[in-house]
Amino acid sequence: MFHNKNVVITGAGRGIGRALALGFAQQEANVLVHYGHAQKEAEDVVRQINQQGGSAFLAHADLRVLDEVYQLIEQTRQLFSSIDVWINNAGASANSEEIAGMSELESFERIMAVDVMGTWYCCRAAAPLMSNGGCILTTGWDHAFVGAQAYRRTHTATTLRHSRRCCSGGSLPGFLCCFLYYRSGIAGKWGRCDEVVECFT
């Protein structure tokens, strides 16, 4: 289904992003593995895909910084003539060592900078490279930041606003932008990465 298609996944070094990268590679897509902090993990993903005969490339960018997002897009343009699938998966963790010592406000601002503004930057910057019939997907989690209703609503609104811009008109010309919430409580259990991959591939 994705033979020789070009796929970009942000935050692809760990967790769902890693599983998505491996899943698309298994379907013979060319995969750009982006990372923000998890360099070693992202390198391992690229190495694994290439050792298995796939096609994977590594890219770093701090999605909080617009210039770095544009650099990511330029690297993508040099690798691929166009993008068939762009997945906004990168997110600032609210419960990891990365926020040790931060106040609640600092942690929240970090999440907004990556998950909301970073997503918006990527959508806008990637749009000119999207192929006809391509798709921009944004992952989200209904418990991304427990109690932070404003964050969840803003993240959804940011992506859907871009979706309406891209998909204006009844025929959905060009490419499609979608927002996917991955709920943590499916069937009363924690979801697995492979279950998310099935939603995308």
CATH number of residue 64's parent domain: 3.40.50.720
Q: Per-block average pLDDT, block size 10, for the chain (201 residues)?
A: 92 90 94 94 97 97 95 96 92 65 81 88 92 85 47 43 36 43 45 59 57
Contact 116, 158 (CB under 8 A): yes
Torsion over CA: 117, 158, 90, 88 (sign): negative
Shortest CA distance to 6 belongs to which of 23, 28, 22, 39? 28
Return d(Cα 36, Cα 184) in angstroms, integer: 24
Q: How far apart are CA 67 and CA 186, in angstroms?
A: 38
On whether residue 66 sits in a domain, the answer given is: yes
Cα(139)–Cα(141) distance, integer angstroms: 7
pLDDT of residue 171: 32
Backbone angles phi, psi at 19, to 5 degrees: -60, -40
Give the count of domains, the chain: 1
Q: What is the pLDDT of residue 93?
A: 62
The answer to whether residue 152 is domain-embedded is yes
In a domain, 153, yes or no: yes
Q: Could you tell me if residue 15 is inside a domain?
A: yes
Residue 1 in domain: no
Domain extent at residue 144? 6-200
145, 98 contact by CB (below 8 A): no
Say if 108 falls within a structural domain.
Answer: yes
Backbone phi and psi for residue 55, each to the nearest 5 degrees, phi listed first: -130, 110
